[in-house]
Amino acid sequence: MTETAGTGALPVEGVPAARVLDEIRALRAGDRPTHGGRLFAYVYDPGVAGLDELAQAAYAESAHVNGLDPTAFPSLLAMENALVGAAARLLGGGPGTSAPDVVGSVTSGGTESLILAVKAARDARPDLAEPRIVVPVSGHAAFAKAAHYLRVALDPVPVDPVTLRPAVADVAAAIRPETVLVVASAPSYAHGVIDPVAEIAAVAAAAGVRCHVDACFGGWTLPWLRRLGAPVPPFDFAVPGVTSISVDLHKYAYAPKGVSVLLHRDPGLRATQFFAYADWPGYTMVNPVIASTRSGGPIAAAYATLRHLGEDGYLRLAAVTRDAVAGLADAVRAVDGLRLLAEPESTVVCFTADDPALDLFVLVDELTARGWHTQPQLAYAGLPASVHLTVTAAVAPRVAEFGPALAEAAAAARAAGPVVLPPELLALAGSLTPEALTPDLIAGLAAGLGLGGGAAPDRMAAVNTLLQAAPVRLRERLLVEFVGLLQRPTW
């Protein structure tokens, strides 16, 4: 073995536990705040005292348990089955419903659930050489990832620029003999609007094709919002033709990260999701999900979270979140030049700017400078650039502060004026092809934008403006290159 001088993660001599934790806390100090209701993406915070401690304790109990073999660790199987049962019940399945035979699996997240929904649909049609899926462009990017990983062709369906929903006739027209899955979102992540699930499922069923409802984001809020009286359209197993649904527990079930549920209307539909292999000399392997070894931690933490909050807890949190959404939407309406892209119908507030003097990307930076972390979305296919707010219960106590902060940030953005990139840079972004990007060009671009120092710059408006000026394929390549610059080993 070669002797090393030790690295940051692997010192020559071990470091005492307390110091290691201090070091991690010091690193964490540079992160966006996961609690406190000022971060409108990435995290889901119910603001319930003691819940983190419970979830962490439950996580620790099962962290070393391995989901690879449910017969070795029946505790995990029991908790997984209970989570699937709870999700199925909430989404219109289970005994006494029109979908009594619902089954499911716990996955590591929404992306894995969607990849597996596509895999199950693809593998149910081994007769097709070139299987395809139909996905509205508002569908989550994970469907494109699934199509890419699984070599399935993606047939995107445009959305109406006003309703932000696909036309059912366009969905129907996109279905071909090779289509194995049609997708609807409840709601879409970007804009928070619910697709016409019943109509989409009907055209899919008429063509004999599976229909997946991506309720990763909304599956754990829409049912409570409906119980509270919101006009939530049918989107779950109560809708004939819906064959599978995904719902992420690490989103609005407020469980720590690493848990989603993929449900199928019956075991026959799920069968092709599994992978079994006995043609090797090792242990007999059967994996319901992509991972083989799986920590029991996330499952136990989710189980504890659901049991502790209960239906009444989720109902209360949904009411609080609904009111926060209304308050944030009012704050947006009160600022001249800003416009809600869609009237909120779930837990997303999404707005755009109608006034060219108010640059949304600068506004996002100004909000960040004031401690409010929002998510910019680039203009795409006739849809304007927008700002996305994922609203969780912890936002509620902050709503009154958000309005003035937004107004102040908008005034500052107007005063600063829109981002002006050098015309030659803009021209380059508009005309370059991904193939023409050389390492030198990338390094030059990154340096010009302040990227590459091991962390993203404080102000991202110039980066977003450049990305927006680039065609989609170039955007993707630039993103890969820029993140590649961040992911470099430290020694």
Ligand X SMILES: Cc1ncc(COP(=O)(O)O)c(C=O)c1O
Q: Which is nearer to ligand X, 189 or 220 (CB)?
A: 189
State how far the alpha carbon of 415 is from the alpha carbons of 216, 372, 385, 464, in Å.
Answer: 39, 19, 20, 19
Q: Are 221 and 321 in contact (CB under 8 A)?
A: yes
Among 40, 44, 59, 217, contact with ligand X (rule: CB under 6 A): 217
Rounded to whole angstroms, how far apart are CA atoms 306 and 4?
A: 47
Q: Which is nearer to ligand X, 216 or 360 (CB)?
A: 216
Q: Which residue is nearest to ligand X (CB)?
A: 110
Among 105, 179, 185, 352, contact with ligand X (rule: CB under 6 A): 185
Q: Which stretch binds ligand X (CB under 6 A): 154-162, 210-218, 391-399, 415-423?
A: 210-218
Q: Give me the 239-258 binding string for ligand X, x by CB under 6 A, dash otherwise.
A: ---------x----------
Q: Which is nearer to ligand X, 258 or 313 (CB)?
A: 258
Q: Give me the 70-109 binding string for ligand X, x by CB under 6 A, dash otherwise.
A: ---------------------------------------x
Q: Which is nearer to ligand X, 108 or 468 (CB)?
A: 108
Rounded to whole angstroms, how far apart are CA atoms 276 and 121?
A: 17
Dihedral sign (CA 428, 430, 431, 436): positive
Six-digit token string for 21: 């934790």
Rounded to whole angstroms, how far apart are CA atoms 83 and 88?
A: 9
The residues near 383 (Cβ < 8 Å, ≥ 6 apart) are: 159, 161, 164, 341
Please name the helix (run of DSSP H) or strand (run of DSSP E) that holds residue 301, with its range, or none. Answer: helix 297-333
Among 121, 216, 225, 263, contact with ligand X (rule: CB under 6 A): 216
User: In a 10 Å sphere around its CB, with 0-12 CB exposed, 13-18 middle and 19+ buried, how is residue 153 labelled?
Assistant: middle
Closest separation between CB of residue 146 and ligand X, Å?
10
Q: Which is nearer to ligand X, 222 or 446 (CB)?
A: 222
Q: In what order do the strands lie in the sheet with 375-377?
A: 338-340, 348-353, 386-390, 375-377
Q: Which is nearer to ligand X, 62 or 113 (CB)?
A: 113
Q: Which is nearer to ligand X, 140 or 459 (CB)?
A: 140
Is 388 a binding residue for ligand X by CB under 6 A? The answer is no
β-sheet bridge partners, residue 244: 212, 264
Q: Which of residues 104-143 bind ligand X (CB under 6 A)?
A: 109-111, 114, 140, 142
Closest separation between CB of residue 287 and ligand X, Å?
18
Closest separation between CB of residue 217 and ligand X, Å?
4
State how far the alpha carbon of 486 is from the alpha carbons of 62, 184, 252, 489, in Å.
Answer: 33, 34, 30, 9
CA-based nearest residue to 91, from 320, 315, 299, 244? 244
Q: Which is nearer to ligand X, 236 or 248 (CB)?
A: 248
Rounded to whole angstroms, how far apart are CA atoms 34 and 141?
A: 24
State the Cα angle at 218 between 379 and 250, rounded to 5°.
Answer: 100
Q: Which is nearer to ligand X, 155 or 214 (CB)?
A: 214
Closest separation between CB of residue 299 and ligand X, Å?
15
CB environment 274-312: b (16+ within 10 A), e (fewer): eeeeeeeeeeeeebbbbeeebbbbbbbbbbbbbeebeee
Closest separation between CB of residue 111 and ligand X, Å?
3
CA-based nearest residue to 255, from 189, 291, 303, 295? 303
DSSP structural state of residue 295:
B
Closest separation between CB of residue 322 and ligand X, Å?
18
Q: Give me the 415-434 binding string for ligand X, x by CB under 6 A, dash otherwise.
A: --------------------
Among 45, 80, 155, 214, contact with ligand X (rule: CB under 6 A): 214
Q: Which stretch binds ligand X (CB under 6 A): 62-70, 204-212, 214-222, 231-239?
A: 214-222
Q: Which is nearer to ligand X, 119 or 140 (CB)?
A: 140
Write out the residues near ligand X by the rule CB under 6 A: 109-111, 114, 140, 142, 185, 189, 214, 216-217, 248, 260
